[in-house]
Amino acid sequence: MPVGRRGALTRAWARGRAIASRILPMLACAWLVAFSSPAAAARVVVVLSDDSAPYQEVYQIIRGYLDHGRHETGRAYADGLSASALDGARLVVTVGVRAAESLATQPVRNPVLAVLVPRAWYLESGRAELAGEGKRAVSAIYLDQPFQRQAQLIRLAFPEMTRVGVLLSTNQRQVLGELADALRAQGISLVYGLLSGADRQIAQLEAVLSEAELLLAIPDPGVINRNTAQSLLLTSYRYRDPVLGYSRSLTRAGALLSLHSSPAQIGRQAAESVRRVIETTSSQLPESTYPAYFSVSINRQVARSLGFVLPQENELEKRLGEEI
């Protein structure tokens, strides 16, 4: 073959190879678009404990996230819940303990994500009730903040504090070791009291407050509920011990500050978890977990009365987020 012709063929072959190297990936992408379908639309049912504003807010956040992604979001309530309300649901989200307990009585196998539930309740009885002897896959997003996060906030807000008190019902005594470890990591010792049904709460509370510099309130219906919260806060105020609470309502009621996750923040985390489940090939629920998003609220009037000067809420949130 003449040299000139051989060179022309070589150059043509090189050009063809270069063109193929650009076109083949484009063809592969086109094939994937043509033959790959997006995740099928799914139905998710959100069961609310009642129609109060916090529960409704969680529902609206979840609905906003899922409806935007073509999925259907249904709503039901703990009172009058029936199995038919859960028909066709790829996943059920229960909001609050009453909703979870109501769902547990239903003869259905839908996977369940329980949110806004105390960790102690979930681990002690809720998980087993919802699982129904292994018939359902279950997971949870707790109402509680992790002890490590609470201990870090105490150190940030009260650098000189060395003794923190907590009052618990006896069925929550199993958390004492974990709480003590979290505080010890911040150079803080734990003072605690255990309350049984027959005990006088104020007497036990005063014994704790007489030794502690701050009272840590955790979600424990046996200690803090709508009948006892005000007396607990007033007694702590009388001892001039600040209270670290777990909700904005406790801050408004008289806690010096609270570390909490809003319904909108819990709803966002729940929606993100639900979308990961229904839009991936694996339908496995995530591990039960603490809230990922959180806020700090401060009662400035109580701070002035007790003589505390605290940083701004957003500064504490930023510093706390950096340390976690």
pLDDT of residue 39: 55
Q: What is the mean pLDDT of residues 99-128?
A: 94
On whether residue 194 sits in a domain, the answer given is yes
What's CA 252's distance to the chain center, in Å?
A: 22
CATH number at residue 68: 3.40.50.360
CATH number at residue 250: 3.40.50.2300
Query: Could you tell me whether strands 295-298 and 189-195 are parallel, antiparallel, or unpaired per DSSP bridges?
Result: unpaired
On whether residue 172 sits in a domain, the answer given is yes
Residue 73: domain span:
43-143+264-278
pLDDT of residue 6: 46
186 shares its domain with 116: no
Question: How far apart, in whole angstroms, are the C-alpha atoms of residue 246 and residue 221?
Answer: 13
Give the model's confidence band at 282: pLDDT under 50 very low, under 70 low, under 90 confident, else very high: low
Tokens 């090939």 -> residue: 281
Total number of domains in the chain: 2
For 294-312, write each residue's pLDDT tens digit.
Answer: 999 999 999 999 999 999 9
191 shares its domain with 239: yes
238 shares its domain with 272: no
Rounded percentage of the chain residues whose pLDDT exceeds 90 = 72
On whether residue 82 sits in a domain, the answer given is yes
pLDDT of residue 69: 64
On whether residue 283 sits in a domain, the answer given is no
Tell me the DSSP string of 170-231.
GGGGGGHHHHHHHHHTTT-EEEEEEE-TTS-HHHHHHHHHTT-SEEE----TTTSSTTTHHH
On whether residue 255 sits in a domain, the answer given is yes
pLDDT of residue 68: 72
